[in-house]
Chain A
Amino acid sequence: MVPSLIIYGLINSVALALIALGFSLTYGISRVANFSHGALYVVTGFAAWLLLNRVQLNYYLAVFLAVVLISVIGASIYRLALIRVRGMPLLEIIVTFALGTAALEALRFFGFFGSNYSLPPLFRGGVTLLGVPVDTQRLAVVVIGGTLVFILWLVTHHTRVGLAFRAMAQDEQAAMMLGIDSDLMATWSLALGAALVGLSAIVLLPLSFIATESGANILVSAIAVCILGGLESTAGVIVASLLIGYAQILTVAYLGPHYQMIVALLAILVTLIVKPSGLFGKQKELEERV
């Protein structure tokens, strides 16, 4: 039992981190809580499915196009809508949430419901680790998740765009004085956040199937991880994913599957009440409470 808990806990944690990275990146840079996060995840899945099965593209091309498409959609959400309500968090949430709902319901209208849609796994077969069978796709999740986090760290610490992102995150007005275009960076942040959640959809969806209902779950998971870890910290995302990921697997094993979601929700509540900026959030602590 123990080896399987360790291995599947890790897989669960990396999956959570993948889901949350995009949300955290967007929020960290532009302070936009993108409530269409879950919808973007689902839309990527269906876009890839359409490209694969209707347009009959090669797998890698289809996946690449789907991720590009979703980042363009992310950018246009900012350019066409959010730019008008920037700085009003409530309206930002309403707009992104309503857009996400509209997208999901429209997909349903066009017949994308039920369990008929799934993406093919990138890798087939499996191995046995410590006496536990693990399929290659799940191993791929861990590897891709790890690589993504590393690339993200490289980009934010060692490129001009990344440094501009961090400047925005730390102090938007000072960044603007230094000639950083706030709107441009915010557009990029949404595009990148969308691309990240798109990537996670491509990697994770073959393990399940594409369903419009999963949008809400994805959103709640992303929010749980980001709040626990601190809304803008990549390191926080990783630690929080591990915490929540293992906590969920352990509760399922010893308490029952019902408590899986309760763990995530309790994590949000307790963190918010005790330390709203999360485990690793160090900025803006003054803004969070009276």
Chain B
Amino acid sequence: MARRLERIDRPIKVLTDDIYALSSIWNMLYVAVPRIFPALLVLLMPLLSPGAYGERVVIITAIYALLALSWDFISLSTGLVSLGQALFFGVGAYIAGLLNLHLGLSPILTLALATVLGASFCTALLAPCLPLRGIYFAMTTLVYPLLIARVIEATAIVGGTDGLVGIDSFPNAWVETYLVLIFLLGCGFGLRRFMTTDLGLVLRSISDNDQAARASGVNVTSHKLIALWIGAALGAFAGAYFTHLYMFVGLSAFSLDLSILPIACAVVGGMGTLAGPVVGAFILVPLAEMLRDLGTLRIVSYSLLLVALVLFKPEGLLSYLKRRYEQVERWVEV
């Protein structure tokens, strides 16, 4: 007998789709829990984590989550795939370090400045490549961080291969831990909201079909610039944060891992959902920490896991959970 799997929306999902239909506490909870619960979890994580080392892992996780969020935002709003998140990270990291060392600005101020200046610098670098698509754009972004690292190495500017040392750290452990978490949550929810604004909708139309958007009179390039700037700002913030966290910035701020891991997070969590990459980061990075005692095998298992997920569960964890939360599945005869 032939059967097929049918998926239909849960009644409560249909009921709560529109805000004015919320009628009971359950309905409200149904809408609120998926938003509030993860946010609370993220905020409580430093308190729940075992020991000071665990707190460190939470911070690193948040930094990677920002990079992953930035990657997903750029791909969602422009359709461009970045293989060079390390560019944003490195530029932000170096700007923060330089401002702090040479102008003696406080970490909070350098964070803000590095975010804005770093994003503008990266956008300026990538602006000539914006008309490119697909693999061609991906390749340019892959090359930029490698190139900048080599240029710094060859010309020995901004510290050369030694990097910059003696940078100030954050005033206290609370600021150190919570600043990045709050920024992450703010960006996560903010960007999700942003995608439903007029500008967000225009951006989405560009990523869906840039020719059609252009035909409708949308200035594709300038819109892409805006999206790229926002994405770059998140990455630059992550880099600047890292600089102050370890009181150091060096060539490794442009390393390839920083470009690859965020994509892995996005794939695991679910691409194009904005929340997915953050979820992915909060799974992958602590997992990598737990596997640390495996030594080299850690990266092997990590890479194979990624391949398996791409091949067999390309939708990502968040999309899967979302489907389960909103729909029921049943077998029906045909």
Instruction: Decide yes or no: A258 and B153 within 8 Å by CB, A102-B307, A290-B211 being known contacts.
Output: yes
**Segment 16-58 of B: residues with Cβ below 8 Å from A:** none
A287 partner residues in chain B, CB cutoff 8 A: 133-134
Measured CB to CB, the closest approach of chain A to B319, in angstroms, equals 15
**Segment 198-212 of B: residues with Cβ below 8 Å from A:** 210-211
Measured CB to CB, the closest approach of chain A to B126, in angstroms, equals 10
Comparing B92-100, B189-197, B292-300, the segment that makes contact with chain A is B292-300
Question: Of B143, B210, B260, B296, which one neighbours A290 at CB under 8 angstroms?
Answer: B210
Question: Is B296 in contact with A265, judged by CB distance below 8 angstroms?
Answer: no
Question: Is B138 in contact with A89, judged by CB distance below 8 angstroms?
Answer: yes
Number of interface residues of A (CB under 8 A): 39
A109 partner residues in chain B, CB cutoff 8 A: 295-297, 300
B310 partner residues in chain A, CB cutoff 8 A: 85, 91, 94-95, 98
Question: Is B129 in contact with A272, judged by CB distance below 8 angstroms?
Answer: yes
| Distance between Cα atoms of A259 and B173 in the complex (Å) | 42
| Distance between Cα atoms of A265 and B254 in the complex (Å) | 14
B304 partner residues in chain A, CB cutoff 8 A: 98, 102
Instruction: Decide yes or no: A289 and B147 within 8 Å by CB, A94-B263, A94-B310, A256-B154 being known contacts.
Output: no
A261 partner residues in chain B, CB cutoff 8 A: 146, 150
Measured CB to CB, the closest approach of chain A to B132, in angstroms, equals 5
Instruction: Produce 1/0 per residue, A27-71, CB < 8 A to B.
Output: 000000100000000000000000000000000000000000000
Q: Is A269 an interface residue (CB 8 A)?
A: yes
| Distance between Cα atoms of A98 and B299 in the complex (Å) | 9
Measured CB to CB, the closest approach of chain B to A281, in angstroms, equals 11
Instruction: Produce 1/0 per residue, A105-127, CB < 8 A to B.
Output: 11011000000000000000000
Q: Is B186 an interface residue (CB 8 A)?
A: no
A90 partner residues in chain B, CB cutoff 8 A: 81, 138
| Distance between Cα atoms of A95 and B211 in the complex (Å) | 29
Question: Is A258 in contact with B210, judged by CB distance below 8 angstroms?
Answer: no
Question: Is A269 in contact with B138, judged by CB distance below 8 angstroms?
Answer: no
Instruction: Produce 1/0 per residue, A258-290, CB < 8 A to B.
Output: 110110011011001100100000000001111
Question: Is A268 in contact with B139, judged by CB distance below 8 angstroms?
Answer: yes
B83 partner residues in chain A, CB cutoff 8 A: 93
A94 partner residues in chain B, CB cutoff 8 A: 263-264, 267, 306-307, 310
Instruction: Decide yes or no: A98 and B306 within 8 Å by CB, A106-B300, A227-B139, A261-B150 being known contacts.
Output: yes
B143 partner residues in chain A, CB cutoff 8 A: 265, 268-269, 272
**Segment 210-244 of B: residues with Cβ below 8 Å from A:** 210-211, 214, 220-221
A273 partner residues in chain B, CB cutoff 8 A: 128-129, 132, 140
The number of A-B residue pairs with CB atoms under 8 Å apart is 112
Q: Is the interface of A mostly helix, strand, loop or mixed?
A: helix
Measured CB to CB, the closest approach of chain B to A113, in angstroms, equals 9
Q: Is A225 an interface residue (CB 8 A)?
A: no
Q: Is B73 an interface residue (CB 8 A)?
A: no
Q: Is A143 an interface residue (CB 8 A)?
A: no
Question: Is B136 in contact with A272, judged by CB distance below 8 angstroms?
Answer: yes
B128 partner residues in chain A, CB cutoff 8 A: 273
Q: Which B residue's beta carbon lies closest to that of A257? A: B154
Q: Is A84 an interface residue (CB 8 A)?
A: yes
| Distance between Cα atoms of A217 and B75 in the complex (Å) | 27
Question: Of A216, A258, A290, which one neighbours B154 at CB under 8 angstroms?
Answer: A258
Q: Is A81 an interface residue (CB 8 A)?
A: yes
Provide a sorted-by-A list of 29 A–B residue pairs whose CB atoms are within 8 angstroms. A81-B307, A89-B81, A90-B138, A91-B310, A93-B83, A94-B267, A95-B307, A95-B310, A98-B264, A101-B299, A105-B296, A108-B296, A216-B256, A223-B139, A258-B150, A259-B154, A262-B151, A265-B143, A265-B150, A266-B147, A269-B144, A272-B132, A272-B143, A273-B128, A273-B140, A288-B136, A289-B131, A289-B132, A290-B211
The residues of B with any CB-CB pair to A shorter than 8 Å are: 81, 83, 128-129, 131-136, 138-140, 143-144, 146-147, 150-151, 153-154, 210-211, 214, 220-221, 256, 260, 263-264, 267, 295-297, 299-300, 303-304, 306-307, 310-311, 314
The residues of A with any CB-CB pair to B shorter than 8 Å are: 33, 81, 84-85, 89-91, 93-95, 97-99, 101-102, 105-106, 108-109, 216, 220, 223, 227, 256, 258-259, 261-262, 265-266, 268-269, 272-273, 276, 287-290
Given contacts A262-B151, A273-B129, 15 further A-B contacts (CB under 8 A): A85-B310, A89-B81, A94-B264, A95-B307, A95-B311, A99-B307, A109-B300, A220-B146, A261-B150, A265-B143, A265-B150, A266-B147, A268-B140, A288-B133, A290-B211
